[in-house]
Amino acid sequence: MRVLFIGDVVGSPGRQGLREAMPALREEHAPDLVIVNGENSAGGVGITERTANDLFQSGADVITTGNHVYRHREAYDFLETSERVVRPANYPQANPGRGHTVVEAGGMRVRVVNLSGGVGLRVARSPFDTVDSILSHHEQDAVIVDFHAEVSSEKVAMGWHLDGRVAAVLGTHTHVPTADGRVLPGGTAHVSDVGMTGPRTSVLGVKPEQALRSMITQMPTRFETAEEDVWVMGAVVDVNERGLADSYQRVMLPVR
């Protein structure tokens, strides 16, 4: 089974870029399962039912999220009812949405788990304890983890923690692709961050002049999504019949 994982889609430029790139990505990689992080898909921050449906129409099978998932209250009911959109599993259990889901792909039952890092982000429970509980209480053929975390050390630690138990631990949130992607000794594909799908002429998706103004003046600044030099970033993982990874490949595709 082949998984195509797409990093944080930022605003309408990211959504449009993914839509334009998906035919070429499908032709080159022939994925059985497409997972897209959509937590910045609505105006650069958060997700809505409309932007989620846009990602589904572009080819996403499952949408993961992160710390901005609750930015738009209009999305709460949608998160609660959708079986293919997940939010971090280590958020309070009463929060809208689910932390993991199972889909059929490539003849396998694949569990997609969303976790938030506990360093620098607000969570209700340890991501390590949370994922251990999920793995011990559910059965599946393979597991893909989107670890939406702030610091590289925690992301690397999660890769080693789950090595040999899941097919992939793919980092999101920091929007900058890291060069440490590989298959760990136990058979788990891991990368600290797959990068973002959006404009590279930006500061993590924000217009450079606005991000600079905020950092230099320390004053409140309205952020807008940049539009130039859109790239699709992500990863491709081949999963074997044991539910572990045979290979990891980085995706970095310029769109326009």
* Active site positions, annotated: 68
How far apart, in whole angstroms, are the C-alpha atoms of residue 97 and residue 69? 10
Both tokens assigned to 207: 């217009």
| Nearest alpha-carbon partner for 94 in 70, 71, 119, 126 | 70
Greatest alpha-carbon pair distance for the chain in Å reads 55
Q: How far apart are CA 11 and CA 197, in angstroms?
A: 9
Instruction: Answer yes or no: are the C-beta atoms of 90 and 130 closer than 8 Å.
Output: yes
